[in-house]
Amino acid sequence: MIMQCVFAFLAVSAFCVLFEVPKKLIPVGGLMGGLCWGIYLLCMKYDISLYGANFIAAASIALIAEILARILKQPSPMFFVPGVLPIVPGYSLYYGVYNFAVGEHALSREYFIKAVMISMLIALSIFAVNAVFRVNWHAKPHERR
Amino acid sequence: MDYRLLMDTSILAGEIIMENGGEAYRAEETVNRMLNTSNAKHVEVVVMGTSMVATVSNPYRDAITATRRIRRRGTNLQRIAQVNDISREMCDGKLSLEEAFHQLKQLREKTQYPEWIRIIASMIGVMGFTYTFGGRGLDLLFAMLCGAAVYAVQYINRYTGLSGIINVAMASFAVSVVAVLLYHLFPEQMNPDTVIIGGLMLLVPGLAITNSARDLLAGDYVSGTARVMEAVVTSLAIVLGTGLALILRNLF
């Protein structure tokens, strides 16, 4: 499992180069990716459902990304986009196509639905975390929106 | 204050954000903040996924409007951060308008990493994801080849000028074909599935998914749904490319 996280770190660091993340922040982005995969694997190990695991991993990454963005004074996608990469549904998408190609249409549909669900869960986790961070705590009640 | 230059500068900032994978609300906020330094009576910025309009008007003066269509779409997080910094500094008065315009112009042309580093990065990236999805041994080596194949397709398409969707379809087709061919050469030592999944991670629309969520949350439904469609269409392109290769494999 630790090896998997190391490779996720490596992969995400490499993707950071493709996303043109500044040099100093590449290790941070890589760590976010490794952490995301680690949380996902931990959740799977403790028998949390596939969707639960994806949500927890994405939500923790979103939370850490928002905090890091405030500490390091960078826009939060800088950390969030690389961090969430390992759980973006490439796996389900591929097996959807694969099963379609070999004629297993029922199975293929199941994988495609999985891919859509996971994408929606990633979006949902951002909703949940950002909603907390977007509250303007210093505003007077009537100024809040 | 030179209204026209201010307008050019601010809309350029917004354009850079949108072209490089920023969220629409970020572009809107940035342009708004910059235009508001003019203390104009009326400032309005509308960003709609693939286009943007900004207007500044004052009583007893002609209104200035600028419109931009966003054609290029890529991911360059460094540029977004830089635009943020430049606009902040300009609004705080630490940077003159001319200087800000100049810096933004330069920023648009600059890439950080040379070509060969990007090739190696895409090879390592695919290799790493192949490992996390269960590839071992020779798979890792072949995954690097697939990464190079994706990069080659994207490099060629920079000159053919084909649209992003066809680019993605071709790249995913290339990944699958390379993996399937290698599987025919080394049927025992290799698992083509993990290699293809690793390669597809380069193309999967992660940024579109995250950005659509953030735009929708900010109440920007037009840009948000545009991004959702981008994610859907990109996924369909991946399905098309990979599916074609797999069906061809089953035929022969």
The pLDDT assigned to A142 comes to 59
> Based on the domain organization, do B85 and B156 belong to the same domain?
no
- Residue B25 touches chain A, beta carbons under 8 Å: no
Interface test with B, best of A6, A7, A55, A72 (most B CBs within 10 A): A7
Query: Are residues B23 and B138 both part of a single domain?
Result: no
- Asked if B54 contacts B65 with a C-beta cutoff of 8 angstroms, the reply is yes
Q: Are residues B120 and B103 in the same domain?
A: no
For residues B220 and B132, membership in a common domain is answered with yes
| pLDDT for position A102 | 86
Residues B38-70: pLDDT tens digits? 888 889 999 988 899 999 988 877 889 999 998
**Subunit contact A8:B129, Cβ cutoff 8 A:** yes
Taking the whole predicted model, whether its pTM rises above 0.80 is answered as yes
> Which long-range contacts (C-beta less than 8 Å, at least 24 apart) are formed by A40-44?
A40/A86, A40/A87, A41/A1, A41/A4, A41/A5
Q: Indicate whether B119 and B101 sit together in one domain.
A: no
Please give the mean pLDDT across all residues of chain A: 89
Do A81 and B128 lie within an 8 Å CB cutoff?
A: no
pLDDT confidence band for A140 (50 / 70 / 90): low
Q: Cα dihedral sign for A95, A98, A102, A106?
A: positive
Query: Could you say which of B78, B201, B246 has the minimum Cβ distance to residue A22?
Result: B78
| Model confidence at B103: pLDDT above 50 | yes
Tell if the CB–CB gap between A123 and B212 is shorter than 8 Å: yes
Average pLDDT score over residue span B23-38: 90
Helix axes A2-18, A77-84, angle to 10 degrees: 130
Looking at B75, B93, B109, the residue that finishes a domain is B109
Same domain, B18 and B95: yes
Identify whether residues B158 and B203 lie together within a single domain. yes
Q: Look at A117-126, B144-153, B156-165, B190-199 and tell me which has the smallest mean pLDDT.
A: B156-165
Which three-class secondary structure state does DSSP give residue B87? Answer: helix
Residues of chain B with pLDDT > 70, as a percent, come to: 100
Of B87, B109, B131, the one marking the end of a domain is B109
Which residue in A15, A102, A126 is closest to B213 by CB distance? A126
Same domain, B93 and B161: no
- List the structure tokens of A21: 């993340």
Give me the domain span that covers residue B22: 3-109
Q: Is the pLDDT of residue A144 over 60?
A: no
The CA-based angle B168-B170-B171, given to 5 degrees, is: 65
Site from A32, A54, A73, A91 to mutate, B interface, most B CB atoms within 10 angstroms: A91
pLDDT for residue A145 = 47
Whether residue B81 is found in the same domain as residue B143? no
Number of domains in chain B: 2
Q: Are B144 and B123 in contact (CB under 8 A)?
A: yes
B162 Cα to chain A: minimum distance (Å) = 20
Residues of B in contact with A127 (CB under 8 A): 213, 216-217
**Most confident among A138-142, B110-114, B146-150 (mean pLDDT):** B146-150
CB count in 10 Å sphere of residue B29? 18
Residue pLDDT, tens place only, A75-106: 888 999 999 999 998 889 999 999 988 888 99
Provide the edge-to-edge strand list for the sheet that holds B51-57.
B42-47, B51-57, B64-69
Judge if B82 and B201 occupy the same domain: no
**Three-class DSSP category at B181:** helix
Provide the pLDDT for residue A143: 54
Q: Which residues of chain B have a CB within 8 Å of the CB of A130?
A: 214, 217
Distance CA B49, CA B69 (A): 9
Q: Mean of the pLDDT values across residues B185-190?
A: 83
Domain boundary among B109, B142, B172: B109
**CA closest to A127 among chain B residues:** B217
Q: Which residues of A79-117 are buried (b: 16+ CB within 10 A; e: fewer)?
A: bbbbbbbbbbbbbbbbbbbbbbbeeeeeebeebbebbbb
Q: What is the pLDDT of residues A25-50, one digit of tens each?
A: 999 999 999 999 999 999 999 989 99
Distance CA(B83)–CA(B14), nearest Å, equals: 8
- Selected for mutation to probe chain A from B19, B73, B133, B210 (highest A CB count within 10 Å) is B210
Structure confidence by residue, pLDDT tens digits, B4-15: 899 999 999 999
Residues B132 and B62 in one domain: no
For residue B149, the distance in angstroms to the closest alpha carbon of chain A comes to: 15
Q: How far apart are CA B194 and CA A4, in angstroms?
A: 14
Q: In this structure, are B68 and B148 located in the same domain?
A: no
Distance CA A128, CA A62 (A): 9
B210 vs A14: CB contact, 8 Å cut-off?
no
Within 10 A of B118 (CB to CB), how many other CB atoms are there? Answer: 19
| CA dihedral sign of residues B159, B162, B167, B170 | negative
Is B78's CB within 8 Å of A7's CB?
no
Verify whether the Cβ–Cβ distance A122 to B78 is below 8 Å: no
Which residues in chain B are closer than 8 Å to A131, comparing Cβ atoms? 217
Q: Which of B26, B125, B196 sits opposite A15 (nearest CB)?
A: B125
Contact by Cβ (8 Å): B17, B75: no
